[in-house]
A and B are shown apart, each in its own frame.
Chain A
């Protein structure tokens, strides 16, 4: 149980392109989802927290107009990197937490984004 699916797993695109990444909870409803960014050999950095039906909460230093987050249902959150540039290249990982006060975050397998 508690499977989180992330799609696509790998994206290569030209500078200026907008890229959408999907995060789905497959066997549970996720009231809260999280988006992280991870650089090579580094830890996970929280970018934003999204709650179903409300606006995302962004961490300090994360541009909300650059990284658009939508959490329209209890099983789907999307991250759109708008007008991506090479410095946006990174490993983006989502996690989902089910309802209740005992559920840990479960992670997807990440999306490797490479901007040329």
Chain B
């Protein structure tokens, strides 16, 4: 069946460095991808999304890259801050943002001061 997975379950970075969180997906029909940040005891918080007709999208301090050839998605966080420490989930869907989402396993990002 389809699955969305992450290469690294944990990531530790120094404050001020850039972070890259990776995600692999297997459903070639997926046309919508989204990143969420989840802090302990809270619900996921929307970070950024991207549709399959794009390969890059930028937000505030974050960039999502989509490589459909190898079915790979990444989230780049510039100048990582302690407040960025959380678990990050990628998710994929079909039918644009209207479809159901399949979530990956999550990567825990720890930022060292």
Contact = CB atoms under 8 A, between A and B. Distances in A.
Contacts of A95: 43-44
Contacts of A67: none
Contacts of B89: 43-44
Interface residues of B, number: 20
B34 interface: yes
B49 interface: yes
Interface residues of A, number: 25
Interface string A67-104: 00000000000000000000000000101010001111
Contact of B103 (A6, A43, A102, A112): A43
Interface in B14-45: 34, 36, 41-45
Contact of A101 (B42, B43, B97, B104): B97
A105 interface: yes
A104 B44 contact: no
9 contacts: A4-B43, A43-B89, A104-B97, A107-B36, A107-B44, A107-B45, A107-B46, A109-B41, A109-B43
The 5 closest A-B CB pairs, nearest first, are: A107-B43, A109-B43, A43-B103, A44-B103, A107-B44
Interface of B: 34, 36, 41-46, 49, 89, 96-98, 100-106
Interface of A: 2, 4, 6, 32, 34, 42-46, 49, 93, 95, 97, 101-110, 112
